[in-house]
Structure 1
Amino acid sequence: MDIWQRVCSYAARALANLAAHGDSNSNNAAVGQEAGALEALVQLIRSPHDGVRQEAAGALWNLSFDDRNREAIAAAGGVEALVTLAQSCSNASPGLQERAAGALWGLSVSEANSIAIGREGGVAPLIALARSDVEDVHETAAGALWNLAFNPGNAFRIVEEGGVPALVHLCSSSISKMARFMAALALAYMFDGRMDGVAVVGTSSESNSKSVNLDGARRMALKNIEAFILAFSDPQAFSAAAASSVPAALTQVTESARIHEAGHLRCSGAEIGRFVTMLRNSSSILKACAAFALLQFTIPGGRHAQHHVRLLQNTGASRILRAAAAAATAPIEAKIFARIVLRNLEHHQIESST
């Protein structure tokens, strides 16, 4: 790497450090407002040197936590540049792979960007990164695929590109609880029914659409979502909670089920609304998955718990949660998790009134 490329690498790293810690850092928005800063970083993504590309992708990942930065990066050609980077880094260092997937994860928080990533060919390289044995790489790829799967067209692309087995493997085998969680949520989005209309029409631009066995993929996905949920379910604790109204019984279930890192995830109103709708799904497995997700997002002390509680209150979710908790045909996991979410809502309501 020559001196100029080294200077570019250091500059990109400095911007990444300034924008670190995501949405809790005021520097994040400030960096994005500097004229030409985001455009320069997008250009550095195209550098022939892996070190420069890694630092630039890391900076864009951090900067994408800000809503305005996210849209400005896309406007500067960031989606195309990062998809190209992801496509070309199969043999690159884990650091570059993680940052490429992470920057796409950050951009894909916007549904418009998510759709653009799918159209630009970003699904296949993210699935390839999700197959990595390196925890940091497959965890960030799982996050990006979770965001992409919210859109039915992208969900079908993930199925077409062989993403179900990759996500199932993560859901069942990753040592990262977060990777397993986000893989399970991606699978839940893909098979909650919204993709069905797209699957009938097909989204492939190829003359011969890839053969897809949706029924088999759905069975595989649901089986592994169920196994994931059961891995966080202590039968004795659930039985005690079902037979008692004592708060300690629910607390024990919560502590067994809690994924601490999930408290850093921030969902939109549309995402929270989708999980609430999923509580009414005909699949008992998806009901349990939705309640499990809402539990994670509302646990007191989570960075965005109050934000998620407000979103749930705005959708009138309490009535649906109470119905889920009381449903005679619902699995015990869905019922207990729904009770815990209701308790979390009550806790935040009391806390905000004092």
Structure 2
Amino acid sequence: EHKGAIAEAGGVKALVDLIFKWSVGGDGVLERAAGALANLAADDKCSMEVAVVGGVHALVMLARNCKCEGVQEQAARALANLAAHGDSNNNNAAVGQEAGALEALVQLTRSPHEGVRQEAAGALWNLSFDDRNREAIASAGGVEALVALAHSCSNASPGLQERAAGALWGLSVSEANSIAIGREGGVAPLIALSRSDAEDVHETAAGALWNLAFNPGNALRIVEEGGVPALVHLCSSSISKMARFMAALALAYMFDGRMDEFALIGTSSESTSKSASLDGARRMALKHIEAFVLTFSDPQAFSAAAASSTPAALTQVTESARIQEAGHLRCSGAEIGRFIAMLRNSSSILKACAAFALLQFTIPGGRHALHHATLLHTAGAPRVLRAAAAAATAPLEAKIFARIVLRNLEHHQTEPAI
């Protein structure tokens, strides 16, 4: 309530005016003013006020021109907070469109001061949720800078590690950026961060590796850099359900067959050796994907669902299988298509994993559930799901999860269009 009172009393404009007035010299004043704006920008309504009175321009000016690390850190933190309300206002896009903003933040990731690097990476992570910002960050050298940051932060604080991995996760939503991150050497540091004991760090690294693994070239890099044991460990041992989920999906992408042709380029002896190595990694990956899916499979609830066609039986399975945070994940049409193809895969484990993933992405109430349901209908998924649900040879989990996805799709068909 204090933030609202400050804004109503004209405090936000006073702070912005102060920054313009003291823009040369007065580093202590500027640091406190930027810090106060950062605190205010954490509030949705106040963040809009900061933008309205010219705060974005003032903060970008500080990030670009001020040499004092305290000012740089607070300016970057304020821009990160302004960009954190993407669902409720336009500040994320506004920060990205401010001349020099993205270039300044990319440059600050190279600062000798950890606090500055952390806040700049956090700002780029938040900004990467906007499609245009994502491409503009890459154009401003963001891929190279963030890969370098991830490489350099093995002994840094968990806060910096999380933001470095998170910014790469955000950028890698674009396949072009994902390929660029792989080519720049981004796989190895992300695997290293996925081994962190800190839940927030290994969860964001798992998200980035999941995105990277969609591309067969990156998938092979993950294998060659020792990523399979790291992802297997996450999939089986993390206390974060989301980390385990995304690690399992990364492994599923890596071993659904698309990487195999890419991997076998080379001499016949190299190909034979590589093929044997990949077979061992594939067996290990599938074993742990299966174990992961089974942790969400209550035998009693599954037996009841198999024997009954009542909605209550499927609801019980859904509730025990649901990963709440997975509702925030948004898949592209290509990713949804990949899971549909997995439903036809010869591996019963990948079938069950794909059905489990689609269940998470379509549960009513999920942030992007309607978007995913639309993509599934467009791709003709109901027919594939019905076949999976009826297949005599499919594992029980795959059949029940496929039935639940079909029920979710029916629910979304009756929803009014947004």
Q: Does TM, normalized by the shorter one, top 0.5?
A: yes
The 5 Å alignment of 1:84-95 reads: 84-95=148-159
Does residue 1:75 correspond to 2:139, yes or no?
yes
What residue in structure 2 maps to residue 5 of structure 1? 69
Does residue 1:18 correspond to 2:79, yes or no?
no
Does residue 1:293 correspond to 2:345, yes or no?
no
What residue in structure 2 maps to residue 108 of structure 1? 172
Answer yes or no: is the 8 Å Cα contact 1:61–1:102 preserved in 2: yes
1:253 Cα offset (Å): 0.2
1:24 Cα offset (Å): 4.9
Deviations 1:218-249 (A, max 9, x none): 00000000000000000110011011000000
Deviations 1:19-38 (A, max 9, x none): 11445542111110111100
| Residue identity in the other structure for 1:303 | R
What residue in structure 2 maps to residue 29 of structure 1? 93
Does residue 1:228 correspond to 2:292, yes or no?
yes
Does residue 1:132 correspond to 2:196, yes or no?
yes
SS state at 2:280 partner: helix
Answer yes or no: is the 8 Å Cα contact 2:264–2:275 preserved in 1: no
Counterpart Cα distance in 2 of 1:40 and 1:211: 45
What residue in structure 2 maps to residue 177 of structure 1? 241
Deviations 1:262-282 (A, max 9, x none): 000000000001000100000
| Residue identity in the other structure for 2:327 | G
Answer yes or no: is the 8 Å Cα contact 1:108–1:147 preserved in 2: yes
- Aligned to 1:277, which of 319, 337, 341? 341
SS state at 1:300 partner: coil
What residue in structure 2 maps to residue 191 of structure 1? 255
What residue in structure 2 maps to residue 205 of structure 1? none
Q: Identity, % of aligned pairs?
A: 88
SS state at 1:201 partner: coil
Residues 1:71 and 1:23: Cα distance change in structure 2 (over 3 Å): farther
Counterpart Cα distance in 1 of 2:154 and 2:89: 32
SS state at 1:195 partner: helix
Higher RCO (CA 8 Å, separation ≥ 6 residues): 1
| Residue identity in the other structure for 1:50 | E
Bigger drift between 15-24 and 304-313 goes to: 15-24
| Residue identity in the other structure for 1:47 | S
Does residue 1:146 correspond to 2:249, yes or no?
no
- Aligned to 1:123, which of 162, 169, 187? 187
Counterpart Cα distance in 1 of 2:225 and 2:398: 31
Counterpart Cα distance in 1 of 2:319 and 2:275: 43
1:201 Cα offset (Å): 1.4
Counterpart Cα distance in 2 of 1:45 and 1:39: 10
Question: Which structure 1 segments of 5+ residues have no match?
Answer: 203-208
Counterpart Cα distance in 2 of 1:177 and 1:169: 13
Counterpart Cα distance in 2 of 1:213 and 1:220: 11
Counterpart Cα distance in 1 of 2:284 and 2:367: 33
* RMSD over equivalenced CA pairs, Å: 1.6
TM-score (norm 2): 0.81
What residue in structure 2 maps to residue 314 of structure 1? 378
Question: Which structure 2 segments of 5+ residues have no match?
Answer: 1-26, 29-67, 267-272
Counterpart Cα distance in 2 of 1:282 and 1:25: 46
- Aligned to 1:216, which of 257, 270, 280? 280
Counterpart Cα distance in 2 of 1:277 and 1:143: 21
SS state at 2:366 partner: coil
The 5 Å alignment of 1:156-175 reads: 156-175=220-239
Answer yes or no: is the 8 Å Cα contact 2:362–2:372 preserved in 1: yes
Deviations 1:34-82 (A, max 9, x none): 1110010000011111110000000000000000000000000000000
Answer yes or no: is the 8 Å Cα contact 2:386–2:402 preserved in 1: yes
Answer yes or no: is the 8 Å Cα contact 2:85–2:91 preserved in 1: no
SS state at 2:129 partner: coil
| Residue identity in the other structure for 1:133 | D
Does residue 1:39 correspond to 2:103, yes or no?
yes
Answer yes or no: is the 8 Å Cα contact 1:160–1:212 preserved in 2: no
Counterpart Cα distance in 2 of 1:210 and 1:197: 11
Deviations 1:89-111 (A, max 9, x none): 00000000000000000000000
For the pair shown, the structure with the greater C-alpha radius of gyration is 2
Counterpart Cα distance in 2 of 1:211 and 1:300: 42
